[in-house]
Amino acid sequence: MAGPAARRATALAALGLGAVWWWAVLRLVLSGDAGVLEGAVVAGGWGLSVLPVHCVPKESVLKETALKDSAFKESDPEDAVADDEAGGH
């Protein structure tokens, strides 16, 4: 695991890059002389914000699937039916 200094550096880097992105967005919207640099910063920042949604380390996905499968196998299907009938469904 990363230490406190690494987490702090990561947080500061994210804050700094976020500030640069917002500067570029506001400059594009409010300024008439914004150029290619601001557009590239805005497009790149938006693209990076979408990326983590689709990127998950393969090991963590495999571990989660294995944990869910083992929890499912350990549960008794008859208990689930009894609980469902007791609930009045």
Hey, CA dihedral for 28, 32, 33, 35, is it positive or negative?
positive
Q: Are the CB atoms for 49 and 42 separated by under 8 Å? A: no
Q: Total domain count for the chain?
A: 1
pLDDT at 86 over 60: no
pLDDT in tens, 55-75: 666 676 666 666 666 655 555
Q: What is the distance between the alpha carbons of residues 23 and 55, in angstroms, rounded to a whole number?
A: 27
User: Which residue range forms the structural domain that includes residue 48?
Assistant: 4-86
pLDDT in tens, 17-35: 889 989 999 998 998 888 8
